[in-house]
Amino acid sequence: MPTPFPNSRTESDGSAVIRVLSYNVRSLRDDTEALARIITACAPDVLLLQEAPRFFRWRKKLARLANATGLVYLTGGAPAAGPAILCSLRATVEHAEDTLLPLTPGQHRRGLATAVVRFGAARLGLVSCHLGLQKAERRAHGGLLLERLGALGVEHAVVGGDLNEGPGGPAFSLLADALQDGAAVAPRGGTDTFPATGPDRRIDAVLATRGIEVLACGVPTDLPGVTGSDLRAATDHLPVLAALSIPAHS
């Protein structure tokens, strides 16, 4: 029997164990009931979305997803050009802001959904990102992401996103050098995230600042309630689930 995936909890010293789920949901164009079942089974405190709805009735679509999964909409969607953040009622929200990144001619607009939240005495910055299809743009936007992370003014932060390249790529390497790559530090479950029907690339990740303890991170293939059929039907990416221990704010 595998060791159970760590559950969310608050420790006696004020630190908090939370679950963070990063998921490219392809604008909710696939089986939204399967998607809701996966998210519910993962029981995230924070859901970092990529390719969230951003056009016609995007607010209503995100609200429906939040309602179906017991979460609340925090920020993102159209104002961030796709990335979005949902969270559980366990989180106390301090601040939320969406940032558009410089537009590369001929490419899609990219942006960041960012927030600062508290879980008890633990204070945490959040960034959801979806990097582009061109290597140079991804590297440049990765640098801007780190600048935005620094501007949040928090000691501890988590980044989740579709990086559109594997660990050897320049943007992935830039982020993994500055932060902890959760799946490399404490691998748990599956590794490759794309395509969902036959994954052979790890292009999605959850990364955390140093000082956060990564307890487990990976595609939640062995989590109760997560089935292979739902993973294939929900969207074209597989999700990345991380259990993180966040120190109490000093």
Q: What is the CATH number of the domain that holds 126?
A: 3.60.10.10
Q: Against a cut of 0.95, is the pTM above it?
A: yes
Domain contains 150: yes
Task: Give pLDDT tens digits along the chain (250 positions).
Answer: 567 899 999 999 999 999 999 999 999 999 999 999 999 999 999 999 999 999 989 999 999 999 999 999 999 999 999 999 999 999 999 999 999 999 999 999 999 999 999 999 999 999 999 999 999 999 999 999 999 999 999 999 999 999 999 999 999 999 999 999 999 999 999 999 999 999 999 999 999 999 999 999 999 999 999 999 999 999 999 999 999 999 998 7
Number of domains in the chain: 1
Domain contains 85: yes
- Supply the pLDDT for residue 249: 86
* Helix residue ranges, H only, 85-201: 135-151, 170-178, 182-185
Domain contains 2: no
Domain contains 236: yes
Q: Rounded CA gap, 158 and 169, in Å?
A: 20
Q: Rounded CA gap, 142 and 150, in Å?
A: 13
Domain contains 79: yes
- Supply the pLDDT for residue 2: 65
Domain contains 1: no
SS3 213: strand
Domain contains 4: no
Rounded to the nearest 10 degrees, the angle between the axes of helix 58-69 and helix 32-42 is 50
- Supply the pLDDT for residue 187: 97
Domain contains 3: no
* Residue 56: other Cβ atoms inside 10 A: 7
Residue 202 is part of which domain span? 9-246
